[in-house]
Amino acid sequence: MINGQKIWTSLAHEANWIFVLARTDSSAPRHHGISFLLCPLDQAGIDVRRIATLNGEREFCEVFFTDARTSADRVVGAVNEGWAVANTLLGFERGEAAATFPLRFREELDRLVRLARARGAADDPIVRQGLARAYAECEIMRLLGMRALTGLQAGRPPGPESSVSKLYWSEYHQRVTGLAVRILGADALAPSGRRPPNMVRTDDPGAPDDSASWVGTFLNARAGTIYAGTSQVQRNILGEQVLGLPREPRP
């Protein structure tokens, strides 16, 4: 039986399956005794509840498990060793993002430059400085992505260093969408234009050049430093597993 709840399951209301990190050995300490399970969502005992977010979308979900079931052959990896599976999954997720996000962010930046020119903000020294910084950061992300691809081609799975790109792009996107709101000025307070449903996502920078979509992307970018590991978690991973710094003392 699976009992518990999980918040922040994007688009769970549209999914048929979910993976679950479930404690299968209550006597094991901390990250041991956890198994990685594949579980069908269309069963009694699972309740998916949608939550409205700042940008007006309802793709953010909380999932409740009450005596839910899955079969024994749907354990990924070894029983009680699910934490290692989860870390491998996150490594590939962040590694893939390092290779593809720079292309999306550069396209978004090109549209932001057009927005600045169209609104007469391209000569504002603060805006120009922000755009120049964003260009440099996009180039850094592109090089990080090339390094990630080189490692994959050489047969090296993504390791803890993949946290560099996740930390970098999530904080970058908050800054650059904040710059977009600055360019919009008062129009950001009462945005107009089209905002296609379920389109504006922090991990898919695709806002058209209208104020509603830019503001929607800005609001959703707030989530980027939380999901897939918070910025604080990424810094801890890099400090401890990449730089070899000592762990923070436990209270």
Closest CA to 214 of 190, 169, 181, 173: 181
Q: Please say if 62 is a catalytic residue.
A: no
Question: In the numeric block, which tokens belong to residue 141?
Answer: 């992300």
Angle, helices 163-184 vs 82-118, to 10°: value is 30
Q: How many residues does the chain have?
A: 251
Residue 154 vs residues 67, 150, 158, 159, 186: alpha-carbon distances, Å: 44, 6, 11, 13, 50
Distance between CA 164 and CA 127 in Å, rounded? 26
- Rg of the chain over Cα atoms, rounded to whole angstroms, equals 21
- Which is catalytic among the residues 62, 93, 96, 171? 93
> What is d(CA 170, CA 158) in angstroms, rounded to the nearest whole number?
18
| Torsion angles phi and psi, residue 173, rounded to 5 | -70, -30
Name the residues annotated as catalytic: 93
